[in-house]
Chains A and B, each alone.
Chain A
Amino acid sequence: MRIVIDLNRCQGYAQCVPLAPTVLKLNGEEALMYDPNPDDSLRQQVLRAAASCPVQAILVERLDEKREKS
């Protein structure tokens, strides 16, 4: 799956980190680092993490259809 975090919007609340600890990590006290293409099996965790963000900085791809390639 694909996610992106708007780091201009992220304020380092870190509410998301414990909800998807293998996808989202704090580097130091407030800099967020994340895996932009985590495994699909983590989808539920990532969606909860995205919902928990007070500033809604996490965008999760929600396309049901297969992505077009080429």
Chain B
Amino acid sequence: MKTATLVADLVTEFKTNGRIVIVGASLAGLRAAEALRDEGFNGKLTIIGDEKHEPYDRPPLSKQVLKGWVRADHTLLPRTRKVEAEWRLGVAATSLDRSSKQVRLANGDQVPFDRLLIATGTRARPWFNPKEAALEGVITLRTSDEAAQLQAALAAKPGRVLIVGAGFIGSEIASVCRDLGLAVTVAERAEGPLVGAGCDR
């Protein structure tokens, strides 16, 4: 058999019966799943996400959601096609066994794969002392649930809001707070706002 034929057969076999697991059920994970189906992958597709929500859009969380105009659970992403995936939402992937090709989940389940895509994105950097980070009124902003929490806290009209970090998110929150008539203090280790985001001056 010619090599080209052999490869074509393997590709066809994989597209029909292969197993692809995507870890991360946000924008990148969803669009990757849609792209795989668009490209003719008809095998088993599993999408794992640690949050219970189906894929949602994050940029509105620091803007219209905090302002109180749009609810935190109303930013679900549009789908460009059906992805026919098995969704494992609300359970985090905790480890990876590369030799047996399995993803282990926080609830002990194992998910086998032929190909794995890690699309877990980034996360907010929490306050370094976990006990202090758990104090009431200390909030990080990355997820929809955190946005709901922060929106409620701002709506309660606090006397002053301290924002640690003057990157995009910190600056946006500061802007929303001012729109809401709240006093704000922003702490930033760089010389000015948005330095880490690429603005030198």
Residues of A in contact with B (beta carbons under 8 Å apart) = 2-4, 7, 25, 27, 33-37, 59-61, 63, 65, 67-70
Contact = CB atoms under 8 A, between A and B. Distances in A.
A33 B77 contact: no
Contacts, number: 53
B84 interface: yes
Interface of B: 54, 56-57, 59-60, 63-64, 67, 69-70, 74-85, 87, 179
B28 to A, nearest CB: 14
A65 to B, nearest CB: 6
Q: Interface on chain A toward B: helix, strand, loop, or mixed SS?
A: loop
B51 to A, nearest CB: 15
Contacts of B63: 27, 33
Secondary structure at the B interface, as helix, strand, loop or mixed, is loop
A4 B82 contact: no
Contacts of A36: 56-57, 60, 70, 74-77
B75 A37 contact: yes
17 contacts: A2-B79, A4-B57, A27-B63, A35-B69, A35-B74, A36-B56, A36-B60, A36-B75, A37-B74, A61-B79, A63-B79, A63-B82, A65-B82, A68-B82, A68-B83, A69-B54, A70-B87
A3 to B, nearest CB: 6
Contacts of A35: 64, 69-70, 74
Contacts of B74: 35-37
Given A34-B64, A63-B82, A65-B82, A7 B77 contact: no
B64 A33 contact: yes
